[in-house]
Amino acid sequence: MSHDPIEWIAADWGTTNLRCWAMSSSGHVLFRAESESGMNSIVKSGGNFETALLELIRPWLREGETIRVEACGMVGAKQGWIEAPYCETPCSPATLRSKAPSSDDGIEVWIRSGVKQSAPPDVMRGEETQIAGLLSLHPEFEGLVCLPGTHTKWAQVRNKEIQSFQTFFTGEVFSLLANQSVLRLTLAPEGTDETAFLQGVTTSFQSPESLLSDGFRLRAEALLEELDGVEARSRLSGLLLGHELAGVFKASDQPEFVFLVGSDELVELYRVALSSLSITHRSITNESAILGGLSKI
């Protein structure tokens, strides 16, 4: 491990988790830390954002010194530490930041602005920093970027700017259907069947208007044909993702290339789906994108 001093701290502050990295002046990660002190838990408990941050990074602070913290994500939302104003498309990603009030002299916290789109209305917080990181690693890239998540973003990038984007809350809908609908009686709690997943993708991509009917058919097959729970879970995932892809590619005329930015598990799901549609893709990890984006000031 490097013995370089900590120059600054990067923070990705989402709805459910807080992740921090202690960074050297040369851009190397010296330490990592993570907690479940996401925005939701802090707001629900009546907690304090500064306290949650200090609990995680206190071992990295030095007596008598102030360390800069660059943060992105929901920490800049209306319910967050301080509301960081949106930039409006078209705009360069992750270039505006707001200073958060702090009572601790050991930290100086800056929060990146999100991005908004007026027509049609849409917003993002955190993904703009990932896109900035992508452009720091691939400055000549232009095209379609997919950022898989609970609320997946698809962004058009041109001239180093976010030109437009759209959000699909496919992940949230899957969770609701799997845990709160009649399908909870049919789906296994975990497991993946790639063949069933791709069957769902193809079905929904070709006939997105039949999504609700195709979804209920899983319950009927379980009752009448003893459909396996893992197969049912995978087909539902494929049906929802196929429906998302049908919406994206109808608007963008099915691009030849997509850049994927996100966690390994979700990126793999999208990679498999895109490969089945013969769409070339490439990916970078969440960490490299976030740190690349937060490094840009």
Q: Report the distance separating Cα 57 and Cα 106, nearest Å.
A: 11
**For residue range 102-156, what is the model confidence (pLDDT) as tens digits?**
999 999 999 999 999 999 999 999 999 999 999 999 999 999 999 999 999 999 9
Structurally, what CATH architecture does the domain formed by 1-116 represent? Answer: 2-Layer Sandwich (3.30)
Which tokens is 168 given? Answer: 């699909």
- Residue for token digits 């087909």? 235
Q: With a cut of 90, say whether residue 252 has pLDDT above it.
A: no
Task: Give the residue range(s) of CATH 3.30.420.300 domains in the chain.
Answer: 1-116
Q: Report the distance separating Cα 259 and Cα 279, nearest Å.
A: 11
Task: Give the residue range(s) of CATH 3.30.420.310 domains in the chain.
Answer: 126-297
Strands 257-262 and 107-112: what pairing?
unpaired
Which tokens is 159 given? Answer: 């001239």
Q: With a cut of 70, say whether residue 297 has pLDDT above it.
A: no
Q: With a cut of 90, say whether residue 223 has pLDDT above it.
A: yes
Residue 288 neighbours by CB under 8 Å, 6+ apart? 133, 137
CATH fold label, 126-297:
Nucleotidyltransferase; domain 5 (3.30.420)
Q: With a cut of 60, say whether residue 167 has pLDDT above it.
A: yes
In this prediction the pTM is 0.93
Q: With a cut of 60, say whether residue 2 has pLDDT above it.
A: no
Q: Can you give the three-state secondary structure of 105-126, one letter per residue?
A: CCEEEEEECCEEECCCCEEECC
Give 94's pLDDT tier (boundaries 50, 70, 90).
confident
Long-range CB contact pairs, 262-269, < 8 A, 24+: 262/130, 262/146, 262/147, 262/148, 262/149, 262/286, 263/148, 266/148, 266/149, 266/171, 267/148, 269/148, 269/197, 269/237, 269/241
